[in-house]
Amino acid sequence: MSKVERILLYVGLAAATFLIFRVTSDYRTLADTHTELRQRLQWPHAGYSVPTFTGETIDGGSITLGEREDGRQFVFFFSTTCEFCLASLPAWKQITETSRTHEDLEVVAVAVDRDGAIRQYRDRHGLTFPITTFPSDKLARLYRAGNVPLIALLNSSGRVLYSRVGVLDEGAALDSVLTALRELPVAEDPIADPSSGPTAASG
């Protein structure tokens, strides 16, 4: 093989390597974009606006979600049969305690399973935040609460400032939630979408 032929071969190999790298990189970018878009359609990402509704708590009271003129709402969406929700309860309790230092913050929960076990679940695990249910499946879809556990921090007009789907432990994930509670005020626009963890689909 002549020197010119060797040079052409090396140039061809380099070009092929570059093209393979470029195609692989483009594929990964497209895959990441597809995953992000799919997630944004499935859960209430930062910037998404939820509808306002008034529901009945499991104790017979009334609570309005999606609008709170004097502050924010931090909402837990859960199922009584979800193992990841159960694993998240210690962190949720810590968030509830922390919320007491924020006068503008109301902590509530929405059970996605509408049956008689919710009150027993509340009592068994010592939950202190008010709990309601969706009055219709359509409303649950509008809140994009198809996967639990799900948490969402809403501003005064029902716009999502922060959300996270998946089990919430007491480590870095909890720290990110507490940071959001501390740093995102009532009227601030959403700044970021958090990463998600393991989920359990609810019906």
Count the domains in the chain: 2
Is it the case that residue 203 has pLDDT exceeding 50? Answer: no
pLDDT of residue 154: 93
The torsion of the CA quartet 160, 165, 167, 173, rounded to 10 degrees, works out to -50
* Sign of the CA dihedral running 67, 96, 115, 148: positive
Residue 192 lies in a domain: yes
Looking at the structure, tell me whether residues 79 and 16 fall in a common domain: no
Residue 98 lies in a domain: yes
Give dist(CA 193, CA 203) in Å, integer: 25
Looking at the structure, tell me whether residues 91 and 176 fall in a common domain: yes
- Please write down the HEC assignment for all residues of the chain: CCHHHHHHHHHHHHHHHHHHHHHHHHHHHHHHHHHHHHHHHHCCCCCCECCCEEEEECCCCEEEECCCCCCEEEEEEECCCCHHHHHHHHHHHHHHHHHCCCCCEEEEEEECCCCCHHHHHHHHHCCCCCEEECCCHHHHHHCCCCEECEEEEECCCCEEEEEEECCCCCCHHHHHHHHHHHHCCCCCCCCCCCCCCCCEECC
Residue 103 lies in a domain: yes
What are residue 165's DSSP bridge partners?
Answer: 150
Q: How many Å is the Cα radius of gyration of the chain?
A: 23
Compute the average pLDDT of residues 9-31: 63
Residue 20 lies in a domain: yes
Looking at the structure, tell me whether residues 26 and 75 fall in a common domain: no
> Structure pTM?
0.72
165: buried, middle or exposed (CB in 10 Å: 19+, 13-18, 0-12)?
buried
Looking at the structure, tell me whether residues 115 and 139 fall in a common domain: yes
Looking at the structure, tell me whether residues 149 and 85 fall in a common domain: yes
**One-letter amino acid of 166:** G
Looking at the structure, tell me whether residues 67 and 139 fall in a common domain: yes
Compute the average pLDDT of residues 74-99: 93
Looking at the structure, tell me whether residues 111 and 12 fall in a common domain: no
Looking at the structure, tell me whether residues 2 and 88 fall in a common domain: no
The dihedrals phi and psi of 81, each to the nearest 5 degrees, come to: -105, 5
Looking at the structure, tell me whether residues 114 and 31 fall in a common domain: no
Looking at the structure, tell me whether residues 84 and 135 fall in a common domain: yes
> Residue 93 CB: number of other CB atoms within 10 A?
15
Residue 47 lies in a domain: no
Residue 9 lies in a domain: yes
Looking at the structure, tell me whether residues 65 and 31 fall in a common domain: no
Residue 87 lies in a domain: yes
pLDDT of residue 56: 93
pLDDT digits (tens, 9 = 90+) for 110-157: 999 877 799 999 999 999 999 999 999 999 999 999 899 999 999 999
Instruction: Give the pair of three-digit tokens for residue 70.
Output: 């004097």
Residue 131 lies in a domain: yes
> Mean pLDDT for the chain?
80
Give dist(CA 89, CA 112) in Å, integer: 16
Looking at the structure, tell me whether residues 77 and 26 fall in a common domain: no
Instruction: Give the pair of three-digit tokens for residue 94.
Output: 């810590």
- Please report, rounded to a whole number, the percentage of residues in the chain having pLDDT higher than 70: 72
pLDDT digits (tens, 9 = 90+) for 54-63: 999 999 999 9
Where residue 137 sits, what CATH number does that domain have?
Answer: 3.40.30.10
Residue 111 belongs to what domain range?
53-201
